[in-house]
Amino acid sequence: MAASPLDGPPPAAPDYASAVEAWRVWRVGLRDGAVVLLSLFADAAWEPGRPLDAGCATRRRSRLLPWRVPPNDHPAPELDCSCGIYGVATQEAAREYLDAVRYAPRGRRVLGRVGLWGDMVESEQGWRARHAYPIEILVPLPTIAETSLRRRAQLEEIAFGLEAYAVPVDVVPYASVRPATGA
């Protein structure tokens, strides 16, 4: 007798029907002559017009064979792993990464809102997600007193290149997104 399509457990209903909006910071780089967003810590390029898909690149040492460090083979993100595409809940939290150089390669950075979806891990101050795409990109522009005209022209060029993502790209005064100090 053929199995009925009604057999088995019903598919779980999604928790949300629209992408979760979060904040994050990207590095900016060049790929094939085009300006692209790069993840801050991972070596991942965000291609215009395509969602970024997460995989788990974390490796764990085997308990039985401790000299072996095989890669994880689970789909990202998992609750007890650190994999996935990160976003924080507030702009203030993301701004901390605009100037932070700890653990991350140097280079021009931009701030923005990101849409996260798919399987996700909800955390105290943000999320890790399976899929992501930018919603809005803010390019911080220092004042003339803080930088050269040539550097400002480069930033304008970066902003123009980022329009390939087909999302709003705004050049904003650096002071408006600079992490608050002493407050």
Partner 1 sequence: MEIGRPLRKIVVEPVRDPVPRRPEREREPAPPAGPPAREPVHR
**CB–CB of 82/88 below 8 Å?**
no
By CB under 8 A, tell whether 103 contacts partner 1.
Answer: no
By CB under 8 A, tell whether 33 contacts partner 1.
Answer: no
Task: Region of 45 please: left (phi>0), alpha (psi -120 to 50) or beta.
Answer: beta
By CB under 8 A, tell whether 12 contacts partner 1.
Answer: yes
Please give the Cα distance from 98 to 91 (Å, whole number): 11
By CB under 8 A, tell whether 26 contacts partner 1.
Answer: no
Pick the closer one to partner 1 by CB: 138 or 141: 138
Other beta carbons within 10 angstroms of residue 113's beta carbon come to 18
Q: Identify the residue among 3, 43, 50, 67 touching partner 1 (CB under 8 A).
A: 50
Other beta carbons within 10 angstroms of residue 26's beta carbon come to 23
Q: Nearest approach, Cβ of 181 to partner 1 (angstroms)?
A: 18
Q: Which stretch binds partner 1 (CB under 8 A): 29-37, 62-70, 78-86, 143-151?
A: 78-86
Pairing mode, if any, of strands 169-173 and 126-141?
parallel
Q: Which residues bind partner 1 (CB under 8 A)?
A: 12, 14-20, 24-25, 40-41, 49-51, 79-80, 86-88, 93-94, 97, 115-129, 131, 133, 135, 165-167
